[in-house]
Chains A and B, each alone.
Chain A
Amino acid sequence: MAEQTFFVSGLHSGPSPSAGLGVARSLRAAFGTARIVGVDYWAGASGLHHDVLDDVWLKPSWDLIEDELYARELADELARGACWIPTLDLEIAWLARRMPAHPRLLAPHGAALAQTGKPAPAIAPLLPFDLPPGLDLNAADDEIHAFCRAHSWRVWVKGPYHDAIAVASWPELERARALLRQRWQSDRLSLQAHVRGYEESVAFAAVDGVIADAVLMRKRIVTPDGKTWAGRIGDVPAELWAPIEAAVRAVGWTGGAELELLRDVDGRRWLNEWNPRFPAWIHGATLAGRNLPAALVRRALGLGAAAQPLAERVEFTRVVLEVPVRAELPLPLQPEPDHGQVGASGKYGAALAAIVPRLAASEDRPAAPPALSSELAADLRDAAAVAATPHRALFRRTAEAAFAAVARRPAPRSGPQLRFAYSLKTCPDLEYLTLARKAGMLAECISLLEVRRALAADWSAADIILNGPGKWWPDSEPRPDGLRAVFCDSVEELERLASSGRRDAVWGVRLRVPGLRSRFGIAVDQPEAFDRLCAAVSALPAPRKLGVHVHMASTLVGIGHWRDAVESAVVWAATLEAATSRTVAVLDLGGGYHPDDLPRVPFADITEFAASRLAGLEHVYVEPGRALTQATMGVVTRVLDVRRRAGRLDEVVVDACIAELPLAASYPHRIFALTRGGPVPVARGPVRLLGRICMEDDVLSPGLALPPDLAIGDRLVVCDAGAYERSMSYAFGCGGYA
């Protein structure tokens, strides 16, 4: 095959390499005298300098390339008999759009790409893999937040072609979204639930839907970015082969491809991504006896397939090698150093943001607006009557509905009694205390000032639970005796309580469950510390019942993780019980539930689980505060300034700020425009909503789709401004102190 020419693109061989160099080395191994031309679009692509290449094409960066001319150049080379094997995702997308099908253009066509594209390939039902749960990032923010909670904040924000950033909180998600949006110049981002599993890949070569060869690779060593550094090659298991073959046939695939998989420890396989080109480790398969690039070419050129048994050695690893730079391709010069990171460039060079609009069709879709319930619509109509702004409005109907749902919650038919306690710290306004009393809730306090307020609101001492690290503050306050329960935050506090002579019904401990990051409670992750706790509990006077408290905000860690923390606390409680011969009578579950989650948190299941481990359990206390009040207030605000860029609405300043909304960046807030026709939901969009004060972080929303004709004096309502948005708000920039 001395006369055969191969063009192989995508040559960067850095920490996140392209596959071109591996493809070229594999072709050289099979076709020793062929002419191999390496193609790249960045002078810094290191593989350009490898001696496996007979020639190189260094093309201009994609933002400078002439589409028509380049398409003609490619067509000419194909017409001269060359094969073209691309390994850059974006180039493959461009080829599918610009180049007609050609038997030596060894890349998938547009229809095949459409059926295998991210985030949820349409072809997935044909494959023997589960799909990790995912969500389009154009969904409404509250739906995105719900997805993250449902998956315990173990989620990835993914780019439209590649790139994924793990996020564990709303601020992290917002940062990742902004970064990827900037990098890819696209809103076509998605969320994917994390799957804890081993990384595997099926790589295959196919022509017109017929697989020429395929292998399974199991990663053994990965880079800090999760890229393959070493792996083990094997045959594709029989149970995977037939369905993959059927899927490839169904989409009529041509070219190399990689199915990125995750295999969890139970053995279930999940499809992470279908990449439309060979993986960068493909030469590792060649070293193991399975040369897929050669199989692709053989099939495409009708050369007949050479049987490829696995070699004796099926593991490969990478090494770092220095190679001389080609004289005709001197390295690109470094830009003048700036502060911060210097000169980091990926496989597309430094111009990715400029490239994407050229190579990928724009498929941006508008974001979904927040939902509007009938109760909230009525509350917002009332809020429209507010004249002076900024003003925090109580959504009375929404609040009454939230507290009434607690009152209606059915009691367990048998076993421990489930009681709800209102956390005063979340919103100590009298309206809420009255609603909580009416709903039959207990009061949960974290200071003696809160105890005083609860007593003033007609709770009796026997209905008050006292919690927190500074519960006896301030010294000047009386310490009412006979509380329902007191939970200590340290062994020292428990020992002091034991000798206090108080006569509360229940004394307990807050546990710091191992594996969860928390500053609160008694650590039990050292046997000695657990022994000390056991000794202190054993010394408690007999009349006092024993309780165990655990607190982990489900809105921050997600429902699954919260359940793990609670079940873990129950196991610790049972261990404490066994070690001390003291019966645990009360399990107290702290708050932090999201308003939408409270009805879904499986308290009945948890109570049943706890009762199965703690035979003497009498009560389970649940302490919602945020869940009941967060959605029950909104801040009505007025537009102070409207700023445009290139004629488009760009930034809007309002008279509310982070003093009224201190948690504006911590979780999503539904925003509505108050118009004569009623409240209008505002979706995400390009307009930043800025607060009134002179603080750099006074940004109320990073982006909204505000009406283009928005004017000074128009009003908006920032919802979900109850709970800590209320209780932690402060006076700032008002000419005085609250």
Chain B
Amino acid sequence: MRLAAADMLDRPEWLRASASKLWRHGPCCDRARAWLVAMARSHDFAATDGLALAAPRWLTARFQWGPTQWPIAWCQAVVADTIDCGVFGAFALEIFRAKGVDAHPGQVLRTYAETSTTHWRHKWAAVPEAFNWIGARVVYHEVTIVRIGRSEARIYDPTDGVWLDPGIRDGHGAHVAVRSEAPVAVSWGSHKLAHGQWTQIGPMPAPPRSAGA
């Protein structure tokens, strides 16, 4: 399916991007993954709180958000101080799945004013190998789709440590399009998210004239 407002994106290659994956070197990366899962269990007060869907909020507190030099392997990612949303997403996916939650990669497009994006672009320019996620008024972001029951989903943003609100579809930080890698179509609030396809859920701001694809 083609995103209705794809023509308005200043970086249409985002529509073909799949969710980020971390590389595996070998045993060092296996140990890094296991360390991450054990850390998550230590921060997951399952018996204390009795909650099934508690998210790995500790990721947001432990890792700083910023540019990541891709490709990156598990053993490198866990020792990094700063990680981007792709690494946050990979970490959250691993943790959710380790505790039996039906979780899948997800991607969103978000709207921001240029007053924000210009600063991010400047920060990311220092790391040429980083993913180019910043448009003029729309940015690419990775999240985690969590299935509840057969066809309902919630979306967790491990970078910010929040569950996204399907009712917010316009303005600063609003998610205007979502792509879910859940194997079946799921509903998120009043939206239907088809497998592997971008679904537009809010108005896409027009790129400024000077922005190129």
Binding site for B on A (CB under 8 A): 152, 154, 196, 234, 264-266, 513-516, 524-525, 527-528, 530-531, 534, 558, 560-561, 563-564, 567-568, 571-572, 575, 578-579
Contacts and interface: CB of A to CB of B under 8 A. Distances in A.
B86 to A, nearest CB: 19
Contact of B31 (A266, A567, A579): A579
A657 B91 CA distance: 54
Contacts of A531: 31
B48 A568 contact: no
B51 A196 contact: yes
A514 B167 CA distance: 36
B142 to A, nearest CB: 21
A266 B35 contact: no
Main SS of the interface on chain B? Answer: helix
B211 interface: no
Given A265-B163, A527-B35, A531-B31, A560 B45 contact: yes
A572 B45 contact: no
Contacts of B58: 515
Nearest to B31: A579
B127 interface: no
Nearest to B58: A515
B34 A575 contact: yes
Closest 9 pairs (CB-CB, A-B): A560-B48, A514-B42, A563-B47, A568-B42, A571-B41, A560-B47, A575-B34, A575-B38, A152-B48
20 contacts: A196-B51, A234-B167, A264-B51, A265-B54, A265-B55, A266-B51, A266-B52, A514-B42, A527-B32, A527-B35, A534-B31, A560-B47, A563-B47, A563-B48, A564-B44, A564-B46, A568-B42, A575-B31, A575-B35, A575-B38
B123 to A, nearest CB: 25
A515 B44 CA distance: 9
A645 to B, nearest CB: 44
B88 to A, nearest CB: 17
Contacts of A558: 48
Contacts of A534: 31
B1 interface: no
B32 A572 contact: no
Nearest to B41: A571
Contacts of A513: 42
Interface string B27-38: 000111011011
B39 interface: yes
Nearest to B28: A531
A530 B39 CA distance: 11
A653 to B, nearest CB: 42
B43 interface: yes
Contacts of A154: 48
Interface of B: 30-32, 34-35, 37-39, 41-55, 58, 75, 78-79, 163, 167
A528 B58 CA distance: 19
A561 B41 contact: no
A560 B52 CA distance: 15
B42 A561 contact: no
Given A514-B39, A568-B38, A527 B53 contact: no
Contacts of B163: 265
Contact of B34 (A234, A514, A560, A579): A579
A524 B42 CA distance: 11
Given A514-B42, A561-B45, A561-B48, A265 B35 contact: no
A578 B35 CA distance: 11
A422 B124 CA distance: 59
Nearest to B74: A527
A528 B79 contact: yes
B46 A571 contact: no
Contacts of B49: 196, 264, 560
Nearest to A565: B42
A264 B55 CA distance: 12
Contacts of A527: 32, 35, 75, 78-79
A514 B43 contact: yes
A575 B47 CA distance: 20
B53 A265 contact: yes
Contact of B38 (A560, A564, A571): A571
A214 to B, nearest CB: 19
Contacts of A266: 51-53
Nearest to B50: A560
Nearest to B39: A514
Residue picked from A265, A266, A524, A561, most chain B C-beta under 10 Å: A265
